[in-house]
Structure 1
Amino acid sequence: TETFRRLAERNIETLRESGAKTVLATCPECFLSLSRLYPSVGKLPFEVRHFYDFLLEHRGRLAFGPGGAAVTFHDPCRLAKHLGIHDTPRDLLAMAGADLREMPRSRERSVCCGTSGWSNCGLAAKTLQRGRLEEAVASGARTLVTACPKCRIHLSCANHDEKRDLRIVDLVEFLANGRKT
């Protein structure tokens, strides 16, 4: 649409003016937009990379504590289905020493967190969220890690409503908290 084109052009120009040669994205929707959609507006004057690839590239410079935390991973729709990224988050969890407990519906079979595009959080969304949280608890994990800020927010909201003993964190937050300083 015209609005998308104008916003993309403005963002590209702002990033060009910054002098950035590489743009790192942590959010799956941002990465999808920057790497797959923005090039339709024009040639990008910078490289777009996912932050997880950057972390894996520099794994030798990262040190983590003893690890061992039992976690499960929620694959966000944009990351798993639209971008086909499944292994990288799991590689990072392994690097941090996490005890990954996969849910039955994971990777390309993963289900939505219940709220796509910030549209609403009605009954259908709450039903999806409740089911996802039940899968997470059934995995035996005490922490659900996700790689999307929207998923974290919406699953946290549903988790709070249900008063489950399940911590929900973003992957970058999980990694940062496990680092040796």
Structure 2
Amino acid sequence: MAQLRVALAQVNTVVGDLEANADLVSGWAKRAAHRGAHLVAFPEMTLTGYPAEDLVLRRSFAEASRNAVDHLARRLADEGTGELAVIVGYLDTSRTPAPRLGRPAGEPQNAAAVLWRGNVVARYAKHHLPNYGVFDEFRYFVPGHDFPVVRLHGVDVALTICEDLWQDGGPV
């Protein structure tokens, strides 16, 4: 029977500090690998910190976030944790932009990536963007539409972020 040992990393990030947040991921990935995990999952928007609010509307910050996730994948492999699958939240931009009135400039997306063997092997953008209570994600992000599934140690693993797990009509 296929088995997948999963570690959950509940970490405290700093909004806007991509380098320190990447260091945090690296350290916790090493701990998870040392304890025999096959996969370690980090929170929503780990690399950027959450909530990043107006910072996500800066094209330079979105580009830096995308570069940081690619660099982190290579870094983890170089540090010896490349066989550990790492799911990390970050800021991306839509691959199929549809700029129009009412959509955030630059098409930012609340995203997650699977890092494995030095590469980003899957990307996912949050579908349901909450706009209640303290949340104002519809103002900042455009929704995703894909639902990637990766196979790790013989187990299918699907990516989802927060609301997408329980909302009617969500990917799950």
The normalised TM-score by structure 2 is 0.31
**Bigger radius of gyration:** 1
TM (norm. structure 1) is 0.30
